[in-house]
Structure formats: structure tokens, C-alpha cells
Structure 1
Amino acid sequence: MTVLVTGGAGYIGSHLVLALLDRGETPVVLDNLSTGFAWAVPAGVPLVTGDMGDADLVARTIADHGIREIVHFAAKIVVPDSVADPLGYYLNNTSKSRTLIETAIRGGVDRMIFSSTAAVYGDVSGDPVDETAPTAPVSPYGRSKLMTEWMLADAGVAHGLRSVALRYFNVAGADPAGRSGQSMQAATHLIKVAAQAVLGQRPKLDVFGTDYPTRDGSCLRDYIHVSDLADAHLAALDHLRGGGGSLTLNCGYGQGTSVLEVIEVMKRVSGVDFPVAISPRRPGDPAAIVAKADRIRSELGWSPKRDDLDGIVRSALAWERHLLTAKAA
């Protein structure tokens, strides 16, 4: 079955493309390459270079490839940037998603998986948060994603579009076979930034705030391996293909790790004691957010295979070394 993957040349999207290929499916990638890379799309996979907000292009792609399913990753994702440029985030993440959804429905698409975020919950410091928790995002990024969740739910009632919104917690790591990873040099993901500090690509690692109400004062997050997340998308596709109804599900491990703890793991795994600087808090960062992830296990039968922080860090570091070697060549 042919699956359209928006943002499939990016970090998480490229891992789903690999997962689809690994089980014999046919992905088609739509990506404007603003943050993705054409080389990240495997040979033989069609790459349509363009914007998800281009209704004519999306309509042609759906018709040309007989698309009935879309997995929608394409988005701007940097929380502090969304505070500085809220209208840009609402245009890209919300308005263009609306165009994509409308065009998909008109083209006969009846199943969609949406890349949402734990940022829809806002600042929920304390116990792991489940899907019934109130949504109170503290950044335009989180709001832009929540509005798309609402659009999908309303489109389901009005037009029969069935969807699964997967609320990601902190995605990290790289493909265990070394085929893909987080490749943006300027990415803000903590584990990638720490790997760059190990390899001397950054003079230091900044910790943004150590005065939060957490066990060591730094932000607490739930880190999930990107390949486990790709598997969750496959399980969501199988659910919808089997006639299952629309769902909203957390994607995390239910284990909170602080920024300072991640740094210590990276130092131990790499054997490099890189410099760390304490900086002021960043706008839009909640103190702690950890998934209660029972529902995805019961609804989709998903279970993580790589829920080991040391392993996540090793895979991210291996990918960063690969990028450095490739750049040197």
C-alpha cells in the first residue's frame, strides 16, 4: 500500500520511511527540504519536492500515486523560535495543515497519522501525564499542534477522516543500522547537541535553567528512541487499516530524565568531559513533562524495544560521528 509521508526527508519522517520499506510497503515523500535532506530519502522512494500548503501539488501527488493514507510530519518544531515567530508557526503548522487535510479529503484519503507533541499539555510538572489531562500549551508551537488535532477531530465527524494523533515526548537517537539520524547541524535537541560537544563541534553545552522545581533544578523530559517512535506509527497505520477509530495517544516511555542527567550519561558513554555552561531559562520550556503511556500499549499493542538511555545516546553519538566523517570526505 502506498503511504504519503510529509516531511519524510527530515529526522523522524526518514525513520518512518525506512520502517515502511523494511516491511515491504511503498512510501512517497513530500518535503520542501527546508530542514530535510534529499539524500535522506532512500533510493527508489519517490521524492516530491514542494510544500504541504500547495494544494495543487498535494492533489496531484495523491492522484498520481493512488494515496489513501498520509503520515504528516512536516512542521516547524523549535519552541523558543515559535515564541519569537508565532505567526510563522501558525502559518506553517496550522494553516498549511488545514490545506493538507482539506486536499486529502477531496482526494479520497480516509486515514491520517499526525505528528503531534507533548507540548499540547503545557507545564504539567509532577506525575506522568495521560491523554485525559487538560491541554494548556505554553508556546505557539504547542498551540499550533493542538489546533491541528482539533481540525482532524472535526474533519472526522464531518467527513469520516479517521486519524491517530501521536503526542511525542522527547525524540532522540538514530537508526540502529546507521541509515538515518538527526542531521540538521543547528538542531536544538539536547542529545544531539551533547554529541556535538563531545566531538568538538561546539565549544560548550548550554543548560537553560537550573532553578526549576525538579530533583536537580534542570528540566525533566521523557526521551523516546526515534525507531520506537517509527514503530508506533506503523502500529497506528495497522489500527486504522483494521477499521479502528480515531485516537489520540502519548508516545513516551514514562521515565523522566533531567538535562543534567542526560549530560552525565553522554560524558560516561563517550568518555569525554566536555564543557557545560549554565544559561538562563528559555521561553516556553515547561519544567517537567513525562508520559503516562499505558493507552498506546493497550490500544495499539505497541511496546518499546529500545527504552535504554545509554543505547539512545550511543546511537545518537554514532550518527554524529558518521556525519562528521561524511563531511570530511
Structure 2
Amino acid sequence: MSESEATTLAFAESPVQLLNILEWARGADAGRCVLVVLPPRDPTTRGQLRRMAGLATDSGHEVRWQEARGGAATPTRALAALAGPLRRARRLVIGDPFSRYLQLLLSLTGPRDVVVVDDGTATMEFVSQLADGERLVRWHRPAGRGPAGLLFAPVARRAVHRLRPGAGHTVEVFTAMPVRRLDGITVTENAFLWTREHFGRPRVTEGADLVGTSLVETGVLREDRYLAAVTDLAREHGVARYWAHRKESAEKLRRLGQVANVEVVRPDLPLELVARRGPIGGRILSFPSTVVHTLPRVLADTEVKVLVCALAEGWFTDRVTARASGFLSNVTTTARGVHGLVSLPAPQP
């Protein structure tokens, strides 16, 4: 199938989004899709996206690498290049409804069937905000509009309209997260069938692995408290490896490796694939994040246990709102309720 014949056009800005597009395509029997990768500028994410793009090509999909950032004229050139595929597509698959660039693309289309795939726990917040008729604002960011937000507001409203079912188009949410059920929106469970089929059963090792988080980099957690917590968890639970989040800074990881005495590993693929490829520890510790909902599904046929580590109030920075801390608490609570995960108390200083 050539691009001109494509009926499904998918957009991914992160490796996890691209993984979940592949999962959706497998379960939906969508055939061959055109996958448009809109890469960010940081090299770690770009490297993972390159590897995921290779897996997508191997699975029979067309992949188009489209630079949309990096210079004043780049976004405009990208929009011009995507105008034709957008016009021809009957169905759009997106991984981040909070992305202003994707909101702009949605606002430029007429009614199209839309599928929203997971970009992590943010899907929970997206569905909740959509249900309550709120503006789409990421959970860790202030709700204030600001001048740029006011200018973009008409585009955002049009995009949100496209994300609601209406005459001539449907909306589906493909997710591994516990989300609210909305009238008219189809919610499809992501069981990670593509991942399991592609990688088989992993080799499970003794000891524990700890999953890193970018909550320090996003301004949610204090770095000193985070490093102390990781050190305590590593000592108490025999953690050997620390799987770094792709957005964690190199300097923080250098310090962490020294103070916590763990091997810091930067995965070359999303952790769901790394865990399935193995080897992986028999116990996986994680702070509230996407993996406390995805890894229990990915590793359901293994003996691996996933444990979620609570956060203490004293770890948060001054900029964190009650809404943000409440969202993280909900991630932990739902992981315990849905997957029966054991919750570890927050290490005390």
C-alpha cells in the first residue's frame, strides 16, 4: 500500500507512543499504516524512536520521519509536508492529545475517526478532563493560560472538538490505564499482545531492578530527596540495576550511580520491551509512573513482581500543586486496585 492509499495515519512523538500504535494496529487488524514520527530534539529519545521505527518497518508499516522542531521555519515546512496525507487519511491515530503540535494538526482536519493511544499515565488525565469539559492541561503544569495559551485557545478548542465523537466520526481510546468510561467513546484494552508475540518470555534473574523517573527533571520532586530515596530502596531491597528514564539528566544519573551504588542503565527501547526481552529482575520497584500499570500486563505470564513505591510529601518541590500530588497518589491507588500491586512505604530520611 502506498502512502497515497493509506486510510490510517498515525503520529508518534515518543517511543512509548510508537509502541502503543503498534499494539493498537495489531489488535485492530488495521493492516498497514503510515506512521509519522515527529521527533523531539533530545538525542536519547531520538535514538529510541529510531529503534522503534525499525520495529514498525519490520512489522509491515510505512514510517515517515518528519522533523517538526529545531528552527523557526521547520514547523511550517512540516505542516506543508503533512497536508496531503492528512487530507487523504480516514482515520488518525495520536499518542499525545496534550501536544500543541498534534492539536494544531487535528484543528486543520475535517471530521475523522480518531484513536488516542497511551502516552503513559497522562491518558488518565486526558479522559478525565475530556469528561468534565475542561481544557487539556498536563497534570504537572499550572492551569494558568498565559499569553501563548490565550493565543492558542481557539486551536485547542477545535482540537478538543475533534476528540469528541460526533456526526461522521468516531473516537476510540486504546489504553492500559484505568480510565473513566465516556458516552460515545470506545475504550479498548491494551494487553500488549504485539510485545509478547515479538519477544517471547524473558529470562528472570534474582534480585531487584528499580525503574527511574523524570519527576525531578519536570520539577515535581526535589533531587536530593529523590537520590536519598533511591539509595535507601537500593540498600533495603538489594537493587542491582537502575533503569533510567529517557529524560533523566546525565549529571543526576552520574550522582545516583555513585551514592546508590547501582548500575545505571539507559534502555535503548521503552522499558516494556526491555523487560520482555530480558533479562529482568524478579522484583521491579517503581515510583508512581506508567510502568506500574503496563509492566503487570507485559509480564503477566512470568513470576516477576512489580512493587510501587510511595512518595512522601516532603519530597515535592514548592511548585507542585495539590492537583499534581493527587494525580500521583491516584496512580498508586489504581495500580494497587487494578493489578493488586504491593505498595512500599516512602523511605524516611
Do the structures match in fold with TM over 0.5?
no
Q: Which has the higher contact order (CA 8 A, sep 6+)?
A: 1
Using the size of structure 2 for normalisation, the TM-score is 0.42
Using the size of structure 1 for normalisation, the TM-score is 0.44
